[in-house]
Homo-oligomer: A and B are copies of this chain.
Amino acid sequence: MPEPLTKRQKQIFNYLTHSIQQEGYPPSIREIGEALGIKSPRGVVGHLEALEKKGYLSRERGARTIKIKSSLGGRFPNRPQKQAGRFGENVPVLGAIAAGSPILAEENLEDHLLVDERFASGKNIFALKVKGESMLGAGILPGDYVLVRQQLKVENGEIAAVLLDDEATVKRVHCSKTTLRLVSENPAMAPIEVRENEKRVQILGKIVGVMRKL
């Protein structure tokens, strides 16, 4: 049962785990201070002592020797190579999706995106670059990357990536007993209705995130 942390202590701990994951080695006292806006080394040391006392980390003498305790449910160890993907996921970006082939096949792969774990939780996440303006009303613009969790079915009304006539698109899906209605969040575009067993459509997965670069 881990001792509770204060809000500030949580921030420090959060930064530590992320930084170690990202760089491969722990930050120095002053680097921690710089990242969190603490101007005196002593201020940072106070937090480290508190975190150590509460059992969240340990320190050796010497520079950059913070160790995150792995006993905390094994959630925040600093053995980066054994905990790959706990703090960031390298998500594949798919280009044109060849019909029939497995979605994550090599020929579909275009790039990789580094995404915070909280945005790409779970396995089988991939990304698509949005082309049309069909989801304008849902705040999804052309050029955006959508993060997709691979699944065969989605709940009524959820936004999904759908393979429609060999073209990957993003649509809101309304399912009735026998049909799927693919609705564009754009008044200029009419809904598309198809029977569920038709081969024209295939649900690729649920949209779990959107990323835009301006």
Assess the A92–B22 pair: CB atoms within 8 A: no
Name the distance in Å between A43's Cβ and chain B's nearest Cβ. 9
In the complex, the chain B residue whose C-beta lies closest to that of A110 is: B11
Of A112-120, A175-183, A191-199, the stretch lying at the interface with chain B is A112-120
Cα-based distance from A19 to B65 in the complex (angstroms) = 12
Task: Give the number of residues in A that approach B within 8 Å (Cβ atoms).
Answer: 71
Interface of A is mostly: mixed
Stoichiometry, copies per complex: 2
> Restricting to A1-31, which residues have a CB under 8 Å from any CB of B?
8, 11, 14-15, 18-26, 28
Query: A residues engaging B (CB < 8 A)?
Result: 8, 11, 14-15, 18-26, 28, 35-38, 62-68, 76-90, 92, 102, 104-106, 108-119, 136, 139-141, 144, 159, 207-214
A sample of 22 cross-chain residue pairs with beta-carbon separation below 8 angstroms, ordered by A number, consists of A14-B111, A20-B24, A21-B80, A22-B90, A24-B68, A25-B25, A25-B78, A28-B63, A35-B112, A37-B104, A37-B105, A62-B64, A80-B80, A80-B81, A80-B84, A81-B84, A81-B87, A86-B90, A113-B116, A114-B114, A207-B214, A211-B212
The 3 closest A-B pairs by CB, nearest first: A80-B84, A63-B63, A24-B78
